[in-house]
Amino acid sequence: MIFDVGGDNPMEARQVATMPYEILVKYFERLYIVVSGGEFLVVSRETEESSPINEESRKSTYDSTSNFHVFKVDLSTNTWTKINELGNRALFLGNNSSMSVEASEN
């Protein structure tokens, strides 16, 4: 679910979109929300557990990114569309915040 908390009464959340069940069960692993070029995107990051690279790192394992899936969300119709390219945009995804920037052609 996606909520709007920036309206006239920010203490009252208003649900503006719900991820369709068929998308949720397939792409639920790690989700990021970002606005890019005026479009609302939800990004799913697939991960795999990586094996240790040396004896010292055997004590811990880490996740390695294997794939990204990007969905454009139309908040007025709750329509979710999978997209395969970002055009001239770059996404920076993080646990606390995500952002989009225009990529330079130079």
The maximal CA–CA distance of the chain, rounded, in angstroms, is 56
Three-class SS string for 64-103?
EEEEEEEEEEECCCCEEEEECCCCCEEEECCCCCCEEEEC
Q: Given a cut of 60, is residue 62 above it in pLDDT?
A: yes
Q: How confident is the model at residue 99 (pLDDT cuts 50, 70, 90)?
A: very high
Instruction: Please compute the mean of the pLDDT values over residues 53-71 and round it to a whole number.
Output: 71
Lowest-confidence region among 19-23, 35-39, 40-44:
19-23
Is 86 within 8 Å of 68 (Cβ atoms)? no
- Look at residue 34 in the predicted model and tell me its pLDDT: 92
**C-alpha 66, offset from chain centre:** 14
Lowest-confidence region among 17-26, 27-36, 56-65:
56-65
pLDDT in tens, 70-87: 999 998 888 899 999 998
Per-residue exposure over 9-34, b if at least 16 CB sit within 10 Å of its own CB, e if not: eeeeeeeebebeeeeeeebeeeebeb
- Look at residue 101 in the predicted model and tell me its pLDDT: 93
